[in-house]
Amino acid sequence: MFLNSYETIYILKPDVTDSTNLSFVNYYKSLLKEKGAQNIVIQHRGRRHLSYNIMHYYDGIYVQMNYQANGYLLKLLEKSMRLNDNIIRYLTVKQKIMNSIDIY
């Protein structure tokens, strides 16, 4: 089965504790592994000021996840994030894979 490369960034509410943040990271990492994702890399981007107000919050805690997965897994992940009250925004982008043909 062919896996696409994805990057998902989600923003947590600024009042989320470090332990809760870590539990979300571990939960999503285990979900990805359990459902067959590969090359999972998770980076904490820290607390940042939002460009605009989201749900009355001006700051958020950013977490970036890079992984390879199929579309079905992506739907499960995004549904889980949509139902999580501590996540105020998420975005997944499909990464283009560079082949040797693409390089001039």
What's 24's domain CATH number?
3.30.70.60
* Statement: residue 99 has pLDDT above 70: no
d(CA 94, CA 36): 17
| 10-62 pLDDT per residue, tens | 999 999 999 999 999 999 999 999 999 999 999 999 999 999 999 999 999 99
Residue 62 lies in a domain: yes
- What's the domain count of the chain? 1
Residue 88 lies in a domain: yes
C-alpha R_g of the chain = 15
Distance of CA 25 to CAs 9, 13, 17, 101, Å?
12, 14, 12, 36
Domain of residue 53: give its range. Answer: 4-95
Residue 103 lies in a domain: no
Residue 42 lies in a domain: yes
Q: 5: pLDDT confidence band, cut at 50, 70 and 90?
A: very high
| Paired tokens of 65 | 């996840």
Residue 39 lies in a domain: yes
Q: 2: pLDDT confidence band, cut at 50, 70 and 90?
A: confident
Residue 100 lies in a domain: no
